[in-house]
Amino acid sequence: MASQAAVAIENARHYQHSEVGYNYRMSNVLAGIGRGQLRVLKDRISQKTNIYDTYRRKLEEIKDVELMPIAEYGQPNHWLTVITLNENSKIKPVDIIVALENENIESRPVWKPMHLQPVFLGCRFYSHNDSGISVSEDVFNRGVCLPSDTKMTEEDLNKVILIIRNMFNNKNLTIDAADCIIDAAIGLVKE
């Protein structure tokens, strides 16, 4: 019962909730870790921004792939890099997730909207969109959360990019060859 109260989530590729759960706990150890991480926050944000920028540069030529837009106001922390696919794309989010999974790389769909969660079935939902599905549902259907851990190496990042590019280009390049091709295509020169 305590584990149910801590996390009310089901085993699914996306986050799915069939019951409401609460997790108000924060131990002294977790609080201490959090305080320690504040000391490296600027470094983490810089690493996350580099990951986002690398995905943006190396995936921007794929017309069916778009990174989540950045608002003109404020400054993002790039906590998570999310792509959305053109609704007419032959490649679907689950295709990318499975291709990465086959290489032992974790990615996930975008969070399932609350109004689609089993726990809220039967509850009213007010969409701002009178014609078609809600924005949250659209992003859920077309989005993929890409790996963006600060411990990723450049090789890890390029492997993810290569897998995605190969899916759209129908090519089977090696990581080293693809990195050179990708860098040449976007005008990066390694010295």
For residue 25, being part of any structural domain is answered with no
pLDDT of residue 186: 47
Strand 143-146 with 108-109, pairing = antiparallel
For residue 177, being part of any structural domain is answered with yes
For residue 137, being part of any structural domain is answered with yes
For residue 81, being part of any structural domain is answered with yes
Residue 5 has pLDDT above 70, yes or no: no
CATH of the domain at 78: 3.90.1150.10
pLDDT of residue 181: 53
Indicate the pLDDT class of residue 1, thresholds 50, 70 and 90: very low
pLDDT of residue 179: 53
Identify which of 82, 74, 81, 79 has the alpha carbon closest to the alpha carbon of residue 46: 79
Residue 2 has pLDDT above 60, yes or no: no
For residue 122, being part of any structural domain is answered with yes
Residue 4 has pLDDT above 80, yes or no: no
Q: What is the pTM of this model?
A: 0.76
For 15-56, the pLDDT digits (tens) are 777 778 777 788 899 999 999 999 999 999 999 999 999 999
- Assigned token pair, 129: 């969109």
Q: How many domains does the chain have?
A: 1
Residue 10 has pLDDT above 70, yes or no: no
For residue 5, being part of any structural domain is answered with no
Residue 61 has pLDDT above 50, yes or no: yes
Residue 73 has pLDDT above 70, yes or no: yes
For 128-166, the pLDDT digits (tens) are 877 778 999 999 999 999 999 999 999 999 999 999 999
Domain that holds residue 58: 41-185
